[in-house]
Amino acid sequence: MTISPEKIAINPLQWIATDDGWIDPSIAPPLAERLKVIKESGIRSVHAEVPADLTTAEYARLLADHGLLPAPGYISGPLPEDEASLRELLHKTDRMSTQMAELGLPTVFVATGMNKQAPRVHRPAVGADGTPERLERVRDVFARMGETTRANGVTAAFHPHIGTWAETEEETRFILDTVPADVLSFGPDIGHLGWAGADVIGLIREYGERVAAMHVKDYHADVAERGRAEGWTYQQTVLAGLWAEPGHASVDIPATLAALPDSFDGWLVIEVDKGAQATPEDSVRLCGEWARRQH
């Protein structure tokens, strides 16, 4: 399997990672500055996220002006508790998947959201407070999101994520096994699934034909294991040095990619929430070095 250089992208979370182990988009430098660093790193595509003050066409021109292409973006929101909140999430899903279609992207990641007060943020990676009833509701929400994106010609790639109601291998399998493949594809994050103790390579091998895109995330397995054993919060685990730039921690990324089917034609999206480098720019450059080695 050969990955096209244009399909190795980055979601540059480095610029919005906070000192308390969280994510805050308001602290990011201007988009043009970030795009310049990404282009100089050798990465050719970037996670698509249309700013509120730009049209989709204006955003596409900005990417093109920096010599970059769009890669699948990410739709998430709190698990709906009633019909009104479900309509709100589906409206967001419709709007953002329309943007993906306008950018020429056939795929978008979909996830449930997390916040600092969520039970699974306080007890991450162990499926805390899970119930069959809630998991069925989560499954139904993903199915509705998939139906909504499909109406816009875009495939929804289910994205398990630590700190949400879909984080473990068992939950991942349940959702994939009970939602038709033409409604929901698979968008695994190899770092988040690994943090939860999943057999990541086994999952990718078993559901490989449904993988439309993947988040490439490296992490230190000893930190993840200790955090799970000692009951650390999401932020405590991150601040203990969980994440790393690809190829610099515990994940066997080559073996993981080798588990994908030969027919895989999706995107690899690099993510480093809070890496080991001194600055976001240094981290992005290191990600670029990894991306260039894949060509």
Strands 107-112 and 45-47: unpaired
Q: Alpha-carbon dihedral of residues 252, 260, 224, 171, nearest 10 degrees?
A: -160
The residues with which 109 forms a beta bridge, in sequence order, are 74, 157
Per-residue model confidence (pLDDT) at position 6: 95
Distance CA 164, CA 112 (A): 6
**With 0-12 CB in 10 A as exposed, 13-18 as middle and 19+ as buried, what is 225?**
middle
Does pTM surpass 0.85?
Answer: yes
> Phi and psi for 37 in degrees, rounded to 5?
-65, -40
Query: What is the block-wise mean pLDDT of the chain (295 residues), using blocks of 10 residues?
Result: 90 96 96 98 98 98 98 97 97 98 98 93 97 98 98 98 98 98 98 98 98 98 97 97 96 97 96 88 97 91
Per-residue model confidence (pLDDT) at position 258: 97
Inter-CA distances, 40 with 84, 88, 220, 289, Å: 44, 38, 28, 11
Considering only CA atoms, which of 197, 187, 171 is closest in space to residue 250? 197
Per-residue model confidence (pLDDT) at position 3: 87
Per-residue model confidence (pLDDT) at position 1: 67
Residue type, 23: I
